[in-house]
Structure 1
Amino acid sequence: MARTIAKDHDQKRDQILQSAAKIFATEGFDRASMAKLAKECGISKANIYHYYDSKDAILFDILDSYLSDLRDLILATDVEGLDPEDRLRRVIRDVLRAYQGSDYEHQVQLNALSALPEDQQDRMRAYQRDMVRYLSDCIRAAAPQVFGDDRAKLRAVTMSVFGMLNWYYMWNGGAGPQARDAYATLVADLTLRGLPGI
């Protein structure tokens, strides 16, 4: 007889992922153990194995869930009717807003992605490329005369914008929506006003 899935299966799974993201981010993926994860979750080690057969599987699920959701959120930014500059401003704002509440997951992405097998890393990088391409298209549309066919320059500007947004995450992770929106405006102003100069 097949084992039935508990009604709170998804809730417990999410709890495991959130707790594991905290442990992986604060203690490092290599130093984390299933026993530590169980303690952080407040459940037995055997119960964790009911959901995941290894911490590698947990790491994959953390990053796959986080990056696919982040990608979907950013690519779904409502830019209808906006001119190219306002579109870029909206996307920058929404990227920074999307980071809110995901500090541990973001840290795990930065520090533990390389622990995944190559094929799984490729999947995560595909999510990242989708986001980079989307922001890159917005930047090009806001100043097409600056880039021409210079893909290297466009990539450098795009990654610089992401760098500014990631800096804010690293140093102001607990900031609320108003502070994030103000910083997003600053990044957009620096980008849009700086583009003609390059």
Structure 2
Amino acid sequence: TTIPRICEEAGVSRSTFFHYFKSKNAILADYRFGFADRLEEFADTLPSDLTGKEKVRRLLQFDVRQNLEGGAMLRQSIISSLDDNPEFRGSHDRTFERVPPLYARVLRESNPQVSEEYCEKVALLITRLYWMIWQSCILMRDPYDFEQELMDSLDMVWDGFGLK
């Protein structure tokens, strides 16, 4: 699509568009980076009586729904991020800065007997697992396999974590 078409659909002028975004890719970057904000907000709504595993499962499911509902726009943003695009460079780093600490916090709250360092390592593993399955299912296969693949993988590795 074109910037004039985006402006027309959004009901804004080109100058307003360029006030907020320097390019079409900047829209995709903003869209993509907003996921972590929404995930953090959702985490705060989870019932406190859930186990850490159930909380992480719900966080992953929420994230999956956000990604799948994003459709082609999100898939394109991820494909663009895999290229050497300066607007997306470091996006994985930014994601890994925010999401694993959120999972670690959830795990630590549900497992006070386990060290913070262990919860951080498990959280990083879960985040990496998510990205590996995301890339294989969304970019290379049917996107509707993604949630089931992720949940099956989480179940397979969870018993080895020793967490609730």
* TM tier relative to shorter chain: 0.5 to 0.7
Contact preservation (8 Å) 1:38, 1:48? no
149, 154, 162: which one aligns with 1:188: 154
Please list, as runs of the form range in 1=range in 2, the aligned pairs for 1:172-187 lying within 5 A after superposition.
Answer: 172=141, 174-175=143-144, 179-187=145-153
Runs of at least 5 residues in structure 1 that lack an aligned partner in the other structure? 1-18, 20-36
Query: Do the aligned partners of residues 94 and 131 (structure 1) sit closer, same or farther apart at CA in structure 2, a change above 3 Å counting?
Result: same
Deviations 1:25-66 (A, max 9, x none): xxxxxxxxxxxx35986x7xxx98445449843322321133
Aligned residue for 1:169? 138
Query: Do the aligned partners of residues 63 and 92 (structure 1) sit closer, same or farther apart at CA in structure 2, a change above 3 Å counting?
Result: same
Two-structure CA RMSD over aligned residues (Å) = 4.1
Deviations 1:59-100 (A, max 9, x none): 2232113321x1232221442131212112111222212110
Larger radius of gyration: 1
Runs of 4+ in 1 over 6 A off after TM superposition: 142-146
Aligned residue for 2:39? 74
TM-score normalised to the size of structure 1? Answer: 0.54
Contact preservation (8 Å) 1:73, 1:98? no
Contact preservation (8 Å) 1:164, 1:187? no
Aligned residue for 1:159? 127
Aligned residue for 2:73? 104
Aligned residue for 1:136? 104
Contact preservation (8 Å) 2:29, 2:87? no
Deviations 1:5-25 (A, max 9, x none): xxxxxxxxxxxxxx4xxxxxx
* Alignment size in residue pairs: 151
Q: Distance in 1 between matches of 2:88 and 2:75?
A: 19
106, 109, 117: which one aligns with 1:149: 117
Aligned residue for 2:86? 115
Runs of at least 5 residues in structure 2 that lack an aligned partner in the other structure? none
For 1:182, give the aligned amino acid: Q
For 1:104, give the aligned amino acid: M
Contact preservation (8 Å) 2:100, 2:124? no
Q: Distance in 1 between matches of 2:56 and 2:141?
A: 22
Report the alpha carbon displacement of residue 192 of structure 1 after superposing the two structures with TM. Answer: 0.9
TM-score normalised to the size of structure 2? Answer: 0.62
Query: Do the aligned partners of residues 142 and 163 (structure 1) sit closer, same or farther apart at CA in structure 2, a change above 3 Å counting?
Result: farther
Report the alpha carbon displacement of residue 191 of structure 1 after superposing the two structures with TM. Answer: 3.0
